[in-house]
Amino acid sequence: MAYDYKEIANIIIENAGGLENISSVTRCSTRLRLFIKDKYKVNINKIQDTKPVMGVVFPKDELQIVLAQNLIPIYDIVSKEFDARDKSKDTLKTSETEEVRGFKAKVSKIGGDLLAFVSAAVTPMIPALVAGGMLKVFLLLITLALPSFAESSTYNLLSMLADAPFYFMPIFVAYGASTKLGGTALYSMAVMGSLIYPTFVQAVTDKTPLSILGLPILLVSYKGTLLPALLISYFAYRCEKLFTKIIPSLLRSIFVGVFTIAVTYVVGVTVLAPLGYFVGGYVAEFFLWTSTNFGPVAVGLLAASMPFLVLTGMHHAVTPFMAQAVVDPGYDAFFRPAYLLHNMAEGGAVLGVGLRAKDKALRAECFSLAFGCVVAGITEPAIYGVNLRLKRPLYGVIAGAGLGGVVSGLLGATAYHYGYSNLLAIPIFEKTILAIIIAIVVAIVSSCVITMLLGFDESILVTETSATHSEEVDTTASVVLSDTNASSIAAPVSGAVVALSDVDDQVFASGAMGSGVAIKPSEATTTVYSPVDGVVEMAFETGHAYGLKSDSGAEVLIHVGIDTVSLGGNGFEQKVIAKQTVKKGDILGTFDPLVIANAGLDNTTMVIVTNSSVFEHINIVGTEFVNAGQELIELD
């Protein structure tokens, strides 16, 4: 399907709160990543509903939009729009929001903030690391087929190119960290560049004593390091803010930059860089110790937890450690095997769905997604498109990845180069290729078999897919209905049926509003459908509740979430207005479960017959789990 990427990019920018609400724009292999100043200006729901968006993740202030194969053209447009904006206005607005952000950071979990910061810092360099790593793989394959090629100048030059992203990684990290903070990236990049400058590197090699202002300098190599760049970037950002504040505006263009890099360099080379070097060394030692002493279990646990890291967008937080491991100690028996085997397990699980599914379109889609996971290493379409929605295949992924990881650890699969997590990266395991191949087979087969044994309700996916396709044609699209009679009420959302008395809201639980039932929406549910044929009597402007009167006389209240009125409409979008005639299955509105969850609220949806006294019997016929459109309440 052909998309208007310009229009999609504009929709994303608009619903991210506009260019003025974006502090930086980056991407990884499948996600557009926007760093947001004020998260309350973001309309996640509209972004999620925009084709071809496959999913939205919003940890802290990093808005991650899963676009898969449509990423590059949309990223290019958004990036150009961002770069073209008025820099002076952006700087002013950024500084105005720093105090708010600082206050929020005080009440946030330190661990989460640090992971988000690391993730934001390393994301811009990921494409370069992948490119360099895969170039190494191709060079390795060529030399295996043609050994003499390793002696050529072409090989040497291309090897330099492949090594460059890893050698200069501290500079790339400085860029990402400074951009995330809102500082001038070139200041921290210059300081980090000086620490891998040839003269400094030669002094380290020759162990030539160095000092600055009488302070001794630790002679260590900073190439391929992470923490020194993060610490120096943060210090440079603070210096820049301080000097900008105390230096008269007339002299800022002359002195802010020189004072920032000079002070940052002195403090960095004597304190911050050595501190980061030692802490980073201890972190690396910890991972090595874990891998050595708990190898099979450690790799299995990391591989099994990967789906959750991917869903939160934090899987890139350990990317620098993966790159560091390849530089020093020169191998990776922990991260890369786990990452690779998780991708294989995602492919195996979605393959299992395809083999067991009866719907031909779903089967074809699953086989395509499985190929993408295994061969291309792109898992988001499989995660968001199938495995997460059906839920049970995700159990297959966890089990398959864990088993594959344990086998990998037992057989000693070890990566000696940085590469991508797909079949093309197998050569980076060199002498342990057989070990990783066996682990891959275990991960794919076990996740596939477990998924097929556990089973799944494919109607969940088929129904939502049908609704999605029809929405592209007509905004009044309907969900697929089960056989219901005129006096029955269908489920407005898909999810687990909950007794009204168990709802954590005394007004609803007591039956004061009327008889009815509640539904805990499934993870993939974002749409509310009309449960009856009738008229919309009331449509709250906040989008969290709807009042309908059915043709049979039932007055039905649909209330999405508990205390969600407090969101003021954020995360909700109405599709109908008061007095509008609707049919059973028509779309009433949409909601974003992530916005509700981030606000600490419950998205349990109540379906209440407010005039229940006029009916002799109100029977709850929906049990355990219902799909949207399935009969839920029977009236007589």
Q: Is 574 helix (H, G, I), strand (E, B) or coil?
A: strand
Q: Calculate what percentage of the chain has a pLDDT beyond 70.
A: 86
Q: Name the more confident of 137 and 398.
A: 398
Q: Calculate what percentage of the chain has a pLDDT beyond 90.
A: 35
Mean pLDDT calculated for residue range 319-324: 70
Gyration radius of the chain over CA positions: 28
The two most distant CA atoms of the chain are separated, in Å, by 94
pLDDT of residue 466: 44
pLDDT above 90 for 440: yes
The rounded distance, in Å, linking the Cα atoms of 455 and 442 is 20
Q: In what order do the strands lie in the sheet with 555-562?
A: 581-582, 534-539, 545-550, 555-562, 602-609, 515-521, 495-498, 625-626
Residue 472: band (very low, low, confident or very high) from pLDDT cuts 50, 70, 90: very low
Residue 465: band (very low, low, confident or very high) from pLDDT cuts 50, 70, 90: very low
The rounded distance, in Å, linking the Cα atoms of 104 and 466 is 41
Report the b/e string of 181-190 with b at 16+ CB within 10 A.
Answer: bbbbbbbbbb
pLDDT of residue 1: 55
What is the 3 state secondary structure string of 478-536? ECCCCCCCCCEEECCCCEEEECHHHCCCHHHHCCCCCEEEEEEECCCCCEEECCCCEEE
Q: Name the more confident of 563 and 290.
A: 563
Cβ atoms of 338 and 415 within 8 Å: the answer is no
If you average pLDDT over every residue of the chain, what do you get?
Answer: 83
Mean pLDDT calculated for residue range 526-545: 89
Residue 280: band (very low, low, confident or very high) from pLDDT cuts 50, 70, 90: confident
pLDDT of residue 424: 81
Tokens encoding 513: 């509003």
Mean pLDDT calculated for residue range 266-275: 96
pLDDT of residue 460: 65
Q: Name the more confident of 110 and 135.
A: 135
Residue 90: band (very low, low, confident or very high) from pLDDT cuts 50, 70, 90: very low
pLDDT of residue 548: 93
pLDDT of residue 96: 43
Mean pLDDT calculated for residue range 160-184: 88
pLDDT of residue 622: 77
Q: Name the more confident of 86 and 204.
A: 204
Mean pLDDT calculated for residue range 98-119: 52
pLDDT of residue 129: 78
Neighbours of 497 (CB within 10 A): 18
For Cα atoms 113, 324, 166, give the angle at the middle one, nearest 5 degrees: 105
User: Hey, what domains does the chain have and what are their CATH numbers?
Assistant: 5-90 (3.30.1360.60), 168-293 (no CATH), 327-456 (no CATH), 484-635 (2.70.70.10)
448 catalytic? Reply is no
In tens, the pLDDT along 328-342 reads: 777 888 888 999 999
Query: What are the residues whose beta carbons fall under 8 Å from the beta carbon of 516, sequence distance 6 or more?
Result: 500, 508, 557, 606, 607, 608, 609, 612, 618, 633
Helix (H) or strand (E) holding 562: strand 555-562
- 250 DSSP 8-state letter: T
pLDDT above 50 for 539: yes
Cβ atoms of 535 and 521 within 8 Å: the answer is no
pLDDT of residue 107: 41
Establish whether the linkage from the previous residue to 329 is cis, with ω within 30° of 0: yes
In tens, the pLDDT along 610-622 reads: 888 888 888 888 7
Mean pLDDT calculated for residue range 452-464: 75
Range in 62-71, 348-357, 408-417 with the lowest mean pLDDT: 62-71
Pairing of strands 22-27, 625-626: unpaired
pLDDT above 80 for 524: no
In tens, the pLDDT along 587-614 reads: 899 998 888 888 888 899 999 998 888 8
Helix (H) or strand (E) holding 273: helix 273-293
Residue 257: band (very low, low, confident or very high) from pLDDT cuts 50, 70, 90: very high
Residue 52: band (very low, low, confident or very high) from pLDDT cuts 50, 70, 90: confident
